[in-house]
Amino acid sequence: MDTKLDPSRDDLPLMANTSHILVKHYVLDLDVDFESQIIDGTLVLFLESGNRSRKKSGSTEEACRSESSEACRCRKPEPCHAPVADTRTSLSKMGYSDFAICGKGERDTSGKDGNHDNQEQTYGISSSKHCCDTGNHGSEDFLLVLDCCDLSVLKVEEVDVAAVPGIEKFTRSPKLTVVSELRNQIVRELVTLPADRWREQLDYYARCSQAPGCGELLFDTDTWSLQIRKTGAQTATDFPHAIRIRYRTKPQGRSVTWTSDQSGRPCVYTMGSPINNRAFFPCQEPPVAMSTWQATVRAAASFVVLMSGENSAKPTQLREGCSSWHYYVTMPMPASTFTIAVGSWTEVKPETCSLRDLAAKRTLSPPEADFRCVGVCGHVAYPCRFQNPSATTQEVIPHRAFAPVSLTGACQETLLQLLSPCLSAAHSVLGTHPFSRLDVLIVPANFPSLGMASPHLVFLSQSALTGGRHLCGTRLCHEIAHAWFGLAIGARDWTEEWLSEGFATHLEDVFWAKAQQLAPHEAQEQQELRASLRWRRLQDELRNSPEQLQVLRPNKEKTGHVSDSGSSVIKHGLNPEKVFMQVHYLKGYFLLRFLAKRLGDDTYFSFLRKFVHTFHGQLILSQDFLQMLLENIPEEKRLGLSVESIFRDWLERPGLPQPQRQAGAESGLARQVGAEVAKWTRVNRRPRKRKRRGSGEVFEKLLPDQLVLLLEHLLEQKTLNPRTLRSLERTYCLSQQDAEVRHRWCELIVKHKYTRAYKTVEEFLQEDQAMGIYLYGELMVSEDARQQQLARRCFQLTKEQMDRCSAQVVAEMLF
């Protein structure tokens, strides 16, 4: 595999050698400095060599190969010290095989002002042209490879876990005389403690992470990885199983975003970067590297730290003006799911406690008997909620809402009212909530999407708060669905995004209908209307996107395959177009809709609950879902379906299977929209006359999704005169509708050069950055000087705060 990938190219490399050694637990101890925009501290890794933690379940192949003591070695360099001269060499000028060595007794002499131009030498990273000979000297050491970029690594050392008081209980063989073997045995025992001893395990992880170092380790860096070795440790078994990395993030690192919230206060958060968390902390990115973590984060006392954690952390005051926050998780998950947000967030609390809220806090019995998890779980051991009787009947998990102070009112009016009913609705469909609690944060305006789900923490865009509860409710349901599909059950190959986004898109409609307590026929009508909207969106995307990005299983028979070391490449993982595409959402949704209709909703959702019970806490491939589905439905309902035919027709080809009828077009709500479109067409054709009583059209009140469909139909009209547009705006109060409606309204304004409403477009581009990218393109394509000036002016106002990927795409449109 070519590891010298240009970061601007399509594919994202996963470099970690997970087939040989796995991180089982991370302990982070970090300080957040807003003045320098740096997070620095230590990361302690607890490792396990080989694959004994792996379990084979269902038809899923083993995630990694067994350990090979001969594999993944590197040549051992002779001791040397890089000269101090030419300390201005920066990482951007280094080759891909740059060598780093931490000299004994080396001090960190760098300042905290965020200026890194002159510091790389201090960090122990130097240009390879200053290195000693790295040729083969007849001896090879094992190499631990971690995914890492945009970080300054200061020091790597082995941790002397044997020095922790009371740790002797983890030494099975008191006859061990080699100290390094004793330390590794302690870690092996610690990482394999039974699930019911998780509190003790976390305590010893914390105590071990504070143990003294017992020898610095050599490390190399390249564009995408950190490589660590110990002289004389020639196999993964011999390599230290507890290591400490001292490091710093960089202000421009791509995993974290430093910005200001809507109240003008500084904040920082992980924003779901295409490179995941490797610019936040060195880690094993491949999803098969399932791990737990605990983190202590210190920040100024005015800040609140939210994180992926099972506990609702409270601040501990360390000294005047500084607080510490501690979070942990006991459910192993990929490191990419770790999320943090530090800012002046305000917890939004209800003004009064309604009867519904009181009822939600009680433990209620589920209506379906098959919600209980029967038998032994298929995942590695952890304290699983599916085996906890009180957890299985908990309709609404504890939850909190946070927002910048300027949005607390809107958050209280909209989001806070929806959390309990949406959580309850999700439980009524899928049963046990996989996670014990949930925080929801309204993130800064530069957040590049409407929402993002992480364990115990959901980010929502401010765009979800305006124009009523519909958009907020549907988006909240989508993110809640990810607790099951995307987090508790993850894709083993990240190219199969549909296993997360397709399921969440399909389930959001079901959850939202139940949260609204709709009658079955009303729920069906709304779902058909949303299917119609998604059909139109997908058809548009299929017409305007490269065919290779329309394939849901691009690696075909090689899906899930990795190299001998465990490294791999995520196809199109860095493609800037892909970030803004929804094919994996929409095409995945239509596949699941097709299967649900073929089987019948009752059969399909009964199966889905069984699937969740079988595969929670595990990683899957498409065939795991499809094989279990076909095995669990009667022969007469299969109607010729097979895994192979679904691969061929849906997952491994661009476009949609043929023939496919337009979804939802015949629903009653869609037909009502059609009638309204006809009225507006007539209004637009009428010559301008003085108003006569009784001559006007009577327009029906429309639901938000109906308004979106109406505006999309009107976008197909060649011309709409200003009088029609003004009437349209007044009739539906379009500037006060939700962001989905306002986005279509802005498209109409741009298409028809409706100058009196240009202010609406400007406001949308600044306040709804998660949805505004497409509008920049429309403004520039029009070749209208005023519109192009508007686009450039808005970009100048927002580019410094805009998400980096979005800013890059917009800049390419404008200049």
Question: Which residues face 39 on adjacent strands?
Answer: 32
DSSP 379-402: SSSS--GGG-HHHHT-SS--EEEE
DSSP β-ladder status, 21-33 and 38-49 = antiparallel
CB 437 within 8 A of CB 247: no
Closest CA to 454 of 416, 503, 490, 506: 490
Active site residue 216: no
Contacts of 111 by beta carbon, 8 Å cutoff, 6+ apart = none
Q: State the greatest distance between any 2 C-alpha atoms of the chain, in Å, as a whole number.
A: 103
Q: Alpha-carbon distance 278 to 285, whole Å? A: 7
Q: Alpha-carbon distance 311 to 298, whole Å? A: 17
Contacts of 207 by beta carbon, 8 Å cutoff, 6+ apart = 164, 165, 167
Q: Alpha-carbon distance 807 to 815, whole Å? A: 12
Number of alpha carbons in the 13 Å side-chain half-sphere of residue 221: 29
Q: Alpha-carbon distance 770 to 459, whole Å? A: 12
Question: Which residues face 442 on adjacent strands?
Answer: 460
Of the residues 479, 508, 652, 747, which is catalytic? 479
Residue where the block lists tokens 């309850």: 424
CB 703 within 8 A of CB 669: yes
Across 709-748, b (16+ Cβ under 10 Å) vs e yields: bbbbbbeeeeebeeebbebbbeebebbebbbbbbbbbbbb
CB 391 within 8 A of CB 363: no
Per-residue tokens: 446: 């530069």
Q: Alpha-carbon distance 448 to 452, whole Å? A: 10
DSSP β-ladder status, 99-100 and 73-75 = unpaired
Helix (H, G, I), strand (E, B) or coil at 440: strand
Number of helical H runs and strand E runs in the chain:
23, 26
Closest CA to 30 of 343, 377, 403, 324: 324
H-run or E-run covering 645: helix 643-646
CB 32 within 8 A of CB 295: no
Phi, psi of 744 (to 5 degrees): -65, -35
Runs of H (alpha helix) within 149-226 = 179-191, 198-209
Question: How many Cβ atoms are within 10 Å of 300's Cβ, its own excluded?
Answer: 15
CB 653 within 8 A of CB 551: yes
Q: Alpha-carbon distance 578 to 561, whole Å? A: 22
DSSP 519-534: -HHHHHHHHHHHHHHH
DSSP 647: I
Phi, psi of 65 (to 5 degrees): -80, 165
Phi, psi of 76 (to 5 degrees): -90, 125
CB 805 within 8 A of CB 576: yes
Phi, psi of 805 (to 5 degrees): -65, -40
264 alpha-carbon distance from chain centroid: 25
Runs of H (alpha helix) within 516-621 = 520-543, 576-579, 583-599, 601-615
DSSP 3-19: ----TTSSPEEE---TT
Which residues does the annotation mark as catalytic? 479
